[in-house]
Chain A
Amino acid sequence: NAGVTQTPKFRVLKTGQSMTLLCAQDMNHEYMYWYRQDPGMGLRLIHYSVGEGTTAKGEVPDGYNVSRLKKQNFLLGLESAAPSQTSVYFCASSYSSGSSYNSPLHFGNGTRLTVT
């Protein structure tokens, strides 16, 4: 049981390049999230998904796209990378986040992205 796995662990991009970050979970969780972490800013929600085939915008969605074609995978795409997207990206999953029965987030190990 690997939990939440993110690939790659590190990546350096030039401005304007594109890339996709992959998140995979083997816990059969319905909900998946992408956060970015910047110094002094905490963790900010980029996009999330409440189930296969669904996605929704979080707090800082501009410049990113996501897809959830399979329940276990959640992809984060950068179509044209900018230096402002230099950050550490964390994927997370949970059983649910509804107000009736919240459950903890399980995080992946993160992807450190540098855009030059």
Chain B
Amino acid sequence: GENVEQHPSTLSVQEGDSAVIKCTYSDSASNYFPWYKQELGKRPQLIIDIRSNVGEKKDQRIAVTLNKTAKHFSLHITETQPEDSAVYFCAAIGGGADGLTFGKGTHLIIQP
């Protein structure tokens, strides 16, 4: 089945700086890659997703890039703000499977 690795597990950045979280996946048939944000005690919520026919997608301060050849995708957050502090999960869906496979999460800390 699909295997998703996520790095780093914890990321601390100064407010206003950029943050980058990276994920790799194992199944070359995977074609959908969402990112979820989870605040403490709350449910995961989709913040951005990308499909395999697109290399990059941007939504205001958030962008995701996908390199199908290398089988990795990344989340980029620019001009970080205190409300960006949360745990972020990447996920992928394998070509023949049902259900997303998630990375183990990155705890993003925004330092004032």
Contacts and interface: CB of A to CB of B under 8 A. Distances in A.
B65 interface: no
A59 B93 CA distance: 13
A90 B34 contact: no
A69 interface: no
Given A41-B104, A42-B104, A102 B99 contact: no
Interface string A89-107: 0100000011100101101
A31 B98 contact: yes
Interface of B is mostly: loop
B29 A99 contact: yes
Contacts, number: 57
A76 to B, nearest CB: 14
Given A45-B101, A105-B46, A109-B42, 10 more contacts: A40-B105, A43-B44, A48-B98, A50-B98, A59-B101, A97-B100, A102-B93, A104-B34, A104-B49, A108-B43
Interface of A: 31, 33, 35, 40-45, 48, 50, 56, 58-59, 90, 97-99, 102, 104-105, 107-110
Interface of B: 1, 6, 9, 29, 31-32, 34, 42-46, 49, 51, 89, 93, 95-96, 98-105
